[in-house]
Structure 1
Amino acid sequence: MFTNRIKIGAFNMMITSYNFKQIGDVLIVVLGQDKGIQTSKKNGNIVALKNEDGKIIGYNIFNVSSITPEIKNQNGQVILSDNQIDKLNEAIVSAGFDTKLPSKVSPKFVVGFVKSMKEHPKSSHLYITETEVEDGKTLQIVSSSPNMQEGIKVVVAEVGTMMPNGLIIWPSELKDVESDGMICSGRELKIPNAPDRPGALILPDSYKIGEPFDFDKAKTLFDE
């Protein structure tokens, strides 16, 4: 049994994406996991999406370039500036909604350290890890990486992360064992020249546990 593990319940997250060619001038905002029956409410150019208990878990903001014109230069996942968040929150409040976009969201791709691992009791190819992500905070993450081992530094996609392929990481269960995050491969992170096979990306010792994963720095990890 692992100790000092943080169980993920409510979490601070926001994922925003924009694709003018595919869906038009609409900002997609994800604030929480969709569970059960989803409902929506439209006020003006803003649609609030709610889960079955009435909590707002996202917004679709139409004609968003009228609020923040620079959004039209974006495609895919968008990292909003503080000024953009302020303008969008003004529009959300003016539309009659009281759930604002968070002003600060912690980085989701972080450097982790596999403190311990054990075989999954119901699978011969899964491992249950206790992975530190910052200052003693550890997550239980179930991994299928064939090169998984104790004492390595890895890239952790925490709950609330959007992967490069668009997949969002949520709390999950793999064969009845909780998993709060994902240990990533170089291929999943789309790092140049990463091997096209399963396996955790093992980082050099120079990477610091808990720091945001630097995708630009990682571009040379697989250079010959």
Structure 2
Amino acid sequence: MNVFMNKQGVGDVLMVQLTTERPEQTEIESKGDVTLIKASQNGEAVAFNIFNATQYIGEHADGSIDLTPELVAKIQEVLEKNNVSLELNVDFSPKFVVGHVVSKEKHPNADKLNICTVDVGSETLQIVCGAPNVESDQKVVVAKVGAVMPSGMVIRDAELRGVPSSGMICSAKELALPDAPEEKGILVLAADSEVGSPFTN
């Protein structure tokens, strides 16, 4: 679940994304201050908007909003007040974590891409990476599926040139770190960085 506000562009609306999948066709259902967006195929809610959001959840800056149990409880209350029967199940685990590149092999269908096996502590991910400086045995920053990049891009499961990829190995620039180098390349962390620990800039 990802939560955004954009008062300047959209107004006093809280935009809640429930899944990283994008259904081909959607249906819209409005109840009070809540507009549900459902996948036409199976009727499952994929997102919803809460209008007059500040009177429900208070003031928040524009952009992606950090999820806390308190905020999720407030949003659940808004749904109930507006007669929307939707149970929120939220994963509070960190989405930006320290990963260890266990192995790297060339992508069979793309010269500039590599297939990396990355240990992120709780699981091992296959990530296709195009950075010229990625190597096995590096400690790196991984944006897991569901992470929201500073640019607003949501990380989704993907397939790059026929190879599945779950997550992204990040550069300093993608993480919007101060003094990030302009040249292409992932951010390589200190060798003693703890695998699976949250990365905060």
Residue of structure 1 in register with 2:3 after alignment: 16
The CA RMSD over aligned residues, in Å, is 1.3
1:57 corresponds to 2:43: no
Correspondences of 1:1-224 after superposition (within 5 Å): 14-32=1-19, 33-51=21-39, 52-69=41-58, 72-135=59-122, 137-215=123-201
| More divergent stretch after superposition (189-198 vs 112-121) | 189-198
Letter in 2 for 1:78: I
User: What secondary structure is seen at the aligned counterpart in 2 of 1:20?
Assistant: coil
Scaled by the length of structure 1, the TM-score of the pair is 0.85
Letter in 1 for 2:144: E
Distance, in Å, in 2 between the alignment partners of 1:38 and 1:92 is 20
Q: Residue 130 of structure 1: CA displacement?
A: 0.5
User: What secondary structure is seen at the aligned counterpart in 1 of 2:152?
Assistant: coil
| CA spacing shift, 1:154–1:82, aligned 2, 3 Å | same
Aligned length: 199
Q: Residue 92 of structure 1: CA displacement?
A: 0.6
Letter in 1 for 2:132: P
Gaps of 5+ in 1: 1-13, 216-224
User: What secondary structure is seen at the aligned counterpart in 2 of 1:85?
Assistant: helix
Deviations 1:15-65 (A, max 9, x none): 111121221110011110222101111100001111232111111010011
Gaps of 5+ in 2: none
Deviations 1:58-115 (A, max 9, x none): 110100111122xx24221111432222121012123232223335421111110100
Letter in 1 for 2:64: Q
> Which one has the bigger strand percentage?
2
| More divergent stretch after superposition (171-180 vs 192-201) | 192-201
Letter in 1 for 2:43: G
Scaled by the length of structure 2, the TM-score of the pair is 0.94
Extract structure 1 runs of 4+ deviating beyond 6 A.
none
